[in-house]
Structure 1
Amino acid sequence: MDRFIGTSLARRGFLIGGAATGVMLLPGCAGMGGFSMVEAIQRLLTISAQRAFARLTAPGGFWDSEVARFDLPELFSGGGTIRSLLTSTLFRTQLQRQLNLLAERGAERAAPVVYDAVRSASIGDAVGIVRGGRTAATTFLRNQMGSALINAMIPGLSDALRVASDPVLGQAIRALSGVDLGSVAQAVAIRADNSIWYQIGAEETAIRANPQSTNDPLLIGVFKIL
């Protein structure tokens, strides 16, 4: 096996990982390859998440992202006063922008939860994920985490709503008859959850297309070979 791996390395010229591991990801080397594939998935998800949260927690992160910007939560689609307010395109756009800005606070709470999940994820079919679609790793992690990000974001969003001073946001919340701040925070968290995963998926897609951008020898080797 070692002779086979060495010959394949020389033939392809692709080195994966550091000199300490020197593991080649080739069919038929499931033991060593499986271990390296798991590490590759963890690195792929970590870098994708880092890039995504760097964008989303920056000022205007959600609003400025074509992938992450979200529309008004369904909570704001009720009748009465809020419906009257939303007949104004200007008011609706301003409210949408304020909720997207608010989501940045939620993303700050979500980031460490994602990083912890990547480190502790049980990755059974790493080869399948590596060979999967453009967002296969992101989809895998999201399925494993379920509603964890929503739950992590709600407290931070609730706190942000309590101190929010934007008049449009305040007027809209007051128009939601019988709705408390916790419900508004949950509605925004659900939208932000989708947006975060969309952004992580977009970053994964970009890494798969250009693994050299990561400067990570393992990822570069994996995606050049496959």
Structure 2
Amino acid sequence: MSMFSLFSRRPLLSLTGLWVLLAVTAGPASAGWRDMLDKVIGGGDTPAATTGSAATTQAPAAAAPSSQEQETGLRAAISGFADAAVKRLGQDGGFANDPLVRIPVPEQLQSLKSGMARIGQESLFNDFEASMNRAAENGVKEAAPVFVDAVTSMSITDAAKIIGGADNAATEYFRSKTSDSLRQRLRPQIEKVTSEAGVTNYYKAIVDKAGFLASYLNKDTLDLDGYVTEESLDGLFAAMAEEEKRLRANPLGATSDIVRKVFDWFK
């Protein structure tokens, strides 16, 4: 049967049918016709049909977090850093057993410590140092609500810059915004626990034992409560920075959905 007889019997043969017929009768030589017909019927390039492979549909890209989501996520992250730091440092040995945050003897007493160590009196300083670290551990535990309030009440500007910043950018921002108020609110707690831990008593024991060496001390410049307060804050911020670095390394490991979203987006 010829192609002409087919056309005469089926004058309404569709373009699609014609494409199939040409493919069968013309073989490779009809490739140009197939291309033209594809354009007419709107097929265009159909790599999935010509190769036999299944078409792959890509999922739409995730939307960037909004400004509100960025601020909420950043605040939640900082709250998490502070909570983890307080729990870590507020336990027995939290300060004393961690070289990163352990509180040393004040600089004003270092020369006296060296002199008394030569005469076998270093244990007095060991007890004194232990009492300061114990006071810091108890102080941060009692001051936990202070940190929670500071996180919730602080203002945040340019959250995207902070989230996309250095490994400790959020901690440093929190420190810059809250350190003065935290110092004022933390000190009464520290004064209470330094008294309970016997910090002042150990210091007095050192001065009494030092004898004439104590005359070289400027006792008026040594504020033990202020010193322990500053060291406690420094330790807390250092611990928070470690928590932040850990989150930035693996944002998908965060327990909060909003924290995961914003930190993973800016990673």
Q: TM-score range by the shorter chain?
A: 0.7 to 0.9
What is the rounded CA distance, in whole Å, between the counterparts of 1:76 and 1:153 in structure 2?
Answer: 24
Residue identity in the other structure for 1:183: D
Matched-pair contact (CA < 8 Å) for 1:138–1:200 = yes
The residue aligned with 1:61 is 94
The residue aligned with 2:146 is 113
Query: Which 5+ residue runs of structure 2 have no aligned equivalent?
Result: 1-57
Matched-pair contact (CA < 8 Å) for 2:82–2:240 = yes
Larger RCO of the pair (alpha carbons < 8 Å, separation 6+): 1
Distance verdict in 2 for CA 1:145–1:63, change over 3 Å:
same
Matches within 5 A, 1:17-166: 24-25=63-64, 33-77=66-110, 84-85=115-116, 88-165=121-198
Structure 1 range deviating more: 92-101 or 134-143: 92-101
The residue aligned with 2:239 is 199
What is the rounded CA distance, in whole Å, between the counterparts of 2:73 and 2:227 in structure 1?
Answer: 34
Q: CA deviation at 1:197?
A: 0.7
Q: CA deviation at 1:75?
A: 4.4
Alignment: residue pair count: 199
The residue aligned with 1:213 is 253
The residue aligned with 1:171 is 205
Residue identity in the other structure for 1:190: E
Q: CA deviation at 1:188?
A: 1.1
Q: Percent identity?
A: 24
What is the rounded CA distance, in whole Å, between the counterparts of 2:132 and 2:166 in structure 1?
Answer: 31
Matched-pair contact (CA < 8 Å) for 2:95–2:137 = yes
Q: CA deviation at 1:91?
A: 4.1
Superimposed CA distance per residue, residues 126-174 of structure 1 (whole angstroms, 9 cap, x where no aligned partner): 0000000111011001001132232223222222233335875552366
**SS at 1:146 equivalent:** helix
What is the rounded CA distance, in whole Å, between the counterparts of 2:68 and 2:234 in structure 1?
Answer: 30
Matched-pair contact (CA < 8 Å) for 1:48–1:207 = no
Q: TM-score w.r.t. structure 2 length?
A: 0.64
What is the rounded CA distance, in whole Å, between the counterparts of 1:98 and 1:156 in structure 2?
Answer: 15
RMSD: 2.9
What is the rounded CA distance, in whole Å, between the counterparts of 1:122 and 1:35 in structure 2?
Answer: 13
Matched-pair contact (CA < 8 Å) for 2:95–2:136 = yes
Matches within 5 A, 1:10-21: 10-12=59-61
Distance verdict in 2 for CA 1:154–1:46, change over 3 Å:
same
What is the rounded CA distance, in whole Å, between the counterparts of 1:111 and 1:173 in structure 2?
Answer: 34
Structure 1 range deviating more: 87-96 or 125-134: 87-96
Matched-pair contact (CA < 8 Å) for 1:85–1:172 = no
Distance verdict in 2 for CA 1:86–1:123, change over 3 Å:
farther
Query: Which 5+ residue runs of structure 1 have no aligned equivalent?
Result: 1-8, 15-23, 27-32
Distance verdict in 2 for CA 1:213–1:171, change over 3 Å:
farther
Matched-pair contact (CA < 8 Å) for 2:78–2:151 = yes
Distance verdict in 2 for CA 1:164–1:114, change over 3 Å:
closer
**SS at 2:242 equivalent:** helix
**SS at 1:11 equivalent:** coil
Structure with higher Rg: it is 2
Moved over 3 A (4+): 82-94, 163-170, 172-180
